[in-house]
Each structure stands twice: as structure tokens, then as C-alpha cells.
Amino acid sequence: MQTFKLAMRMLLAACVGLPVSGCWDNKDINHRALPVVMGISKADETFKVTLQIPEPAGTTTQTKIVTDTGSTITQAVDKISMNLESNVDLLHLKVVLFEKPYAQQGLNESISGFMRSRDISPKALVVICDEDLDTFFARVTRTKQPSGTPLYDFFEKNAGWSPQIALTRIWQVYRSIHSFTRDVAIPIIRSGKSTQVEHIGTAVIKNGKMVERISPDDTLLFNAFQGQSTQGKIEVMDHASVLVVSNTIRHKSGLANGRPHVESVINLKVSVLETRETPSTASIQKDLETLLTGRFNRMFAKIQAAGADILGIGQLFRAELNREQLKRWRTDYYPDVNLDFRVQAVIQNQGHLKAPAD
């Protein structure tokens, strides 16, 4: 009987220890490197990966820049992890920065790899750098000793984001690669002269490849067309400057003799900030509508010529075209889209503006 009790106690002790043995390979948070920015470039068949890793430094946080190469992105990251005192964990990555020549070659391979491996969050932002990544990170570090996560804060809506900046995530790029009717726009940055980062425009991405570029002012209208808020943007005209208070958009679409037709109207509420030569309310309103409508039409002509539907116009016709027709959206339908775009502005606050007396 004593032998049986002893055997049962030993068995129970062994069973209690089994769940604990499954955690042998877990690493404490203090032994993990958590990069917030990953830079990727490609030369021939070799990838170069740069990681920006925050590190506590007294009462503040400094950043470390580490770089390595490999035949794949994963191999380069493994080399960095091997040479660090901590294991690299990419799940907290916030920004993936691609060098422009690689974006022009096509991002399909990398984006598909991210989605397949799940090492990187699909919500991480995708950004394009318009200069050599080594130069970019060196200048950013030299301009001002980086603290915290300045590059991520640049795109954070609660920090430095502006409505002239497009926000595109890994899953959106992946979706566009496999979509018949939707392309994406990715912000382009470089190191600034008096600031760490300078936004210089937006890349037009078709099937994962950069095919065109639009300006920050065009990006504002792109965001408005997508229903994003453009609140806080200041528009300057010849006789006045106004502040955008709110915006809404509505679409009406249809097929006429097989040709897609879209009517889009953006409603803007603005507040007058400054005036020159005492213009009337009506003239300010007309000038604003003319300025934005002309800017949008020029932008649409550019992206339509590139065959990239970053506005997602094809989405409006998914109920009217069958799958075989949608496959030919970019080649047979999109080049013939007739887009009637209008801006309707309402001056909500005139400030000290006085309309001329009748």
C-alpha cells in the first residue's frame, strides 16, 4: 500500500510539471528586441534590411540602427538577431520602409511573404523612401538624436499625421495585388533639411508596382475621395486662405452604352482665415471650388493614364459587371471612365470678412 501511494505521488508530480515544460523556449521581454521601423532595399538578388529599435535610456528612449543582408528578408533578420544580445521580435513593427527602386520593381514578393509568415502585423504601415536607406537613417539620426518613435509618430493620427498623407497598410497592399478593381497609394518620404522627415508625395501602386507619383495636394483630394477627414488643411488662393472644417462625399455611378460614368460631389465646410483686397463670400467660394476641381481632374487624368485605380472607382461597379468583366476592368473599362467631379463649398465661419454692401 505504501508503495502504491508513493507511485501515485510521483505520477502526480510529473503531471504537474508537464505544462511548465512547454515554456522552455519563451524569452523574457527584457531579452527581446522590438523594432518599430524596418527598412528594406534590394540590389540584384540580395535584400538589405535595416531595423530601428527603441532602447530605454534613463528617463527617455533612444533608438539603435542595425543592418544586415541576406538572400531573403527573413535571412537578413535572422543574421541581425544572431548578432544582437536580444532576440528580434517583429510583431510590434509599426512601419515598413521600402527603397523606391525596389518599389518600382514590385513589392509582391515581400508583401506576400509578410502575409504568409505572420511575423509582421498586417496593420503595419507601408512607406516608400526616395533616397538610399543608409543615407536616410544616417541623416535622420544626425539631424536630431532620435527619441521614442519619431517616424511612426509622423504617420500617427494623434501625433504628426496630416490629411495630405496617405495611410496604407500591409494588408491593403496585399489586397490590391489580388484585386481586379482596386489599387493603392503609398506615401513617399525622405530625410528633411530642418526636420527629421519630409513628405514629398504619394506613390501610385498598380499590382504591387510603383507606376506614378502624385503631389501632397493631390493626396488631400485622394483622401477626401476615400471619405477620409481632411479637417485642418489650409487652402491658399489668390484673395483668401481657408481652413477645412469638415468634408463628405457622395457618388452616383452607372453604365451608359457600356461606358462607366461616375458623378462624385465633395461637400466642404470651410472657415475663412485671411483675405486680401476684401473679396466677397461668393467669390471665395467660387475660387475654392474652381481650384480643387481643376486639381482633382488633373490628378485623375494622370492616374487614369497610368491605368491605376487608386480611387477604387471599380468598386462602384462590382454589382453591375460579372467576374469576367471585372477581370478586364483596368484594360477595358477604366480607361473609358467618365468621371464628373464637383466641389461644393460652404463658408461656415467668415471671421472678420465683410461682404460688400448692395
Q: Which of 90-94, 122-126, 219-223 is predicted with the least confidence, judged by mean pLDDT? A: 90-94
Rounded Cα gap, residues 53 and 22, in angstroms:
29
Give me the chain's average pLDDT, please: 86
Range in 6-20, 76-90, 282-296, 311-325 with the lowest mean pLDDT: 6-20
Which pLDDT score, from 0 to 100, does residue 176 have? Answer: 95
The residue behind cell 515598413 is 96
Query: Do the strands 125-129 and 95-99 form a parallel or antiparallel pair, or are they unpaired?
Result: parallel
Whether residue 106 has pLDDT greater than 50: yes
Q: Which uninterrupted H or E stretch holds 200?
A: strand 197-206
pLDDT at 292 over 90: yes
Cα–Cα dist 299/224, whole Å:
13
Rounded to whole angstroms, the Cα distance separating 309 from 311 reads: 5
Can you say whether residue 120 is alpha, beta or left, with left for phi > 0 and alpha for psi between -120 and 50 degrees?
Answer: beta
pLDDT of residue 358: 42
What pLDDT is recorded for position 323?
Answer: 92
Q: What is the pTM of this model?
A: 0.85
